[in-house]
Amino acid sequence: MDRVAPCLAYAVLLAAATLLAGCGNSASGLTTGAAPAGDLPGAVNNEDPLARPIAVAWTSARAQRCGFYFDAMKLRASYLAHEAKQSSPEQLAKAEKSYDSTFKVIRDRVSSDPDYCNDRKSAEIKGQLQRHLAGDFSPRLPQTKKAETCGIWGCPQEASDEPFNAKKVFDDMAKKQR
């Protein structure tokens, strides 16, 4: 019995350490953004060459889903005319294809959500739609943010470029204790 107790305690500690290792901090964080993941047009940033057609199509599909009074085909034609002035025929073809596929994908994604058009989202869509209808097609896609995944021991501290100074650490600890 004396030999079983230490082995059992060791086995329990090993199992607990294994479980905690799975819950620990990891370098890969979750991606979150201002919009739900199903609502975002993809991993496109505002500097991407195809960000303009994606942003306009994304806004148009969302506005159509929420019942805004506008002509989606006229907005598309207006955007493509704007793009034709600035782009080569090859780039225009890519923009048109990107616009059409983004519009369809976003429309299909948001059509199944009965609670999609809440007040906050409708206000956001309205602002973007008014901007596009006025001829401003600059992309303002919401950017995803990296969220920390903190384990049982908390979030990791930010790395510092300052070299380690033991005296400073102990001085700071002494100040906190006063």
Domain ranges in the chain?
A: 48-138
**Long-range Cβ contact pairs of 121-128 (< 8 A, separation 24 or more):** 121/62, 121/66, 122/66, 125/59, 125/62, 125/63, 125/66, 125/68, 126/63, 126/68, 128/55, 128/59, 128/63
Answer for the pair 61, 133: CB distance below 8 angstroms, yes or no.
Answer: no
| pLDDT above 70: residue 145 | no
pLDDT of residue 69: 92
DSSP bridge pairs for 32:
145
The token duo for 21 is 């290792």
Q: What is the pLDDT of residues 41-85, one digit of tens each?
A: 556 667 777 888 989 999 999 999 999 999 999 999 999 999 999
φ, ψ (nearest 5 deg) of residue 38? -70, -15
Q: Is 42 left (phi over 0), alpha (psi -120 to 50) or beta?
A: left
Other Cβ atoms less than 10 A from the Cβ of 74: the count is: 10
Burial of 81 (0-12, 13-18, 19+ CB in 10 A): exposed
Tokens, residue 177: 């204790």
pLDDT at residue 42 in the model: 58
Query: What is the value of pTM for the model shown?
Result: 0.59
For position 134, what pLDDT does the model report?
93
Given pLDDT bands bounded at 50, 70 and 90, which one contains residue 150? low
**Spatial contact of 140 and 52, defined as CB atoms under 8 Å apart:** no
